[in-house]
Structure 1
């Protein structure tokens, strides 16, 4: 059994994979990272670990110590110029985020056509993966909640309040929610145009805001849980 870790900006997501399928998944807030010790204690025998860490060296070190206490060696991926069916066209391939690289590998394992690979978390990323498995590039923008928080923090009269999505809002709370959501949808749909002409092209959408975004997207969309973990599982199987 392998332990796979997706260490993001806000949460650590974990999965147990036996080489065929998932035997368990879960998440822990980084603000409560010490609670992961209890998770590890209840997982049972683990053969190896592989993870993607974008939270920084301090978090990585804390996790390494927890894993070492369980007789596990921490192994963190680095993006490659090519591997696992994906060609990385980033100007400096090693500077692509480890989470984005793993999500691209996961997307390629799940879908052999063109795809826009979207992760909607603290930040939203939208990466173009063509039908040949070539990552052509992508964008990063503030996530849905971060957009709303920035308005509340940096403006005097636009509070972080509950609103709803409306096509033509007539209340401030609705205008904020609708504007932030439209910004996300517009960026995703514009990026999808870069791959939408390929047969079978789809937006592979994952992340905390996926359920909010998916019903409003005007492009083919497939919601996939934990694309980063799917990519890590692929890497372990191939290795």
Structure 2
């Protein structure tokens, strides 16, 4: 049994895998990290525990504290130059966010074609894999909520918008929400077009993926948690 934990900016996602399928998955807010203790009671003897953490050393320490009985089989993923069929072409491979690295590995396990790997969360990342598994590079954007908050905080008259997407917005809230979605979708579609007329797939993951998916004008496939799929592959590859 393998336990995977993806510690992002807002939440800690977890999953339990038996080598064939996910037995259970869930998520807790960082402020409620003590809820992770229940996992130790429910799944007391994992063979491996894998963590990807982008929330900082303090958050990582709190996670370890809650999962102390698992520390003998605990491993934290790090971005590398090459692993599981993916070659990291970042100028400094170690500086690539480990969540992005794990998502790329997860994507490679799901598809052997070129891929646009999108994680829509607090931030939105749009990463490109070629058909040989080379990570060519990627984009980082503020997520939709961060975009809306920036307009509310840093302008004198704009609200924190709670509108809807529209082809031709006719109120300020709709204009802001539509603009934020169109910016995100546009970045994804430009990355897609940059790959050219080849066999490729767009893999869409993250808590805000559902807000982008209906507006994409390209083929896409939803994956519940790509970083956890990558963590699973890393655990099986060790």
Give your verdict on TM over 0.5: yes
**CA RMSD, aligned part only?**
1.3
Superposition map of 1:38-187 within 5 A: 38-70=38-70, 72-187=72-187
Measure the CA separation in 1 of the matches of 2:137 and 2:229. Answer: 20
CA contact (8 A) 1:166 1:178 kept: yes
Counterpart of 1:197 in structure 2 is 197
Q: Within the alignment, does 1:220 sit opposite 2:219 as a pair?
A: yes
| Partner SS state of residue 167, structure 1 | coil
What's the offset of the Cα at 1:154?
1.6
Q: Deviations over 1:122-180 (max 9, x none)?
A: 00000000111100000101001111111112222211132110111110110011011
| Partner SS state of residue 74, structure 2 | coil
What's the offset of the Cα at 1:31?
2.0
CA contact (8 A) 2:84 2:234 kept: yes
CA contact (8 A) 2:11 2:28 kept: yes
Measure the CA separation in 2 of the matches of 1:67 and 1:27. Answer: 15
The alpha-carbon distance between structure 1 residues 71 and 141, as it changes in their structure 2 partners (threshold 3 A), is: closer
What's the offset of the Cα at 1:197?
2.3
Counterpart of 2:229 in structure 1 is 230
The alpha-carbon distance between structure 1 residues 123 and 71, as it changes in their structure 2 partners (threshold 3 A), is: closer
| Partner SS state of residue 76, structure 2 | coil
Measure the CA separation in 2 of the matches of 1:134 and 1:76. Answer: 23
Counterpart of 1:34 in structure 2 is 34
Give the alignment's TM-score, normalised by structure 2.
Answer: 0.96
Task: List alignment gaps of at least 5 residues for structure 2.
Answer: none
| Partner SS state of residue 75, structure 1 | strand
| Partner SS state of residue 67, structure 2 | helix
What's the offset of the Cα at 1:70?
4.7
Task: List alignment gaps of at least 5 residues for structure 1.
Answer: none
Q: Give aligned pairs, total.
A: 238
Give the alignment's TM-score, normalised by structure 1.
Answer: 0.95
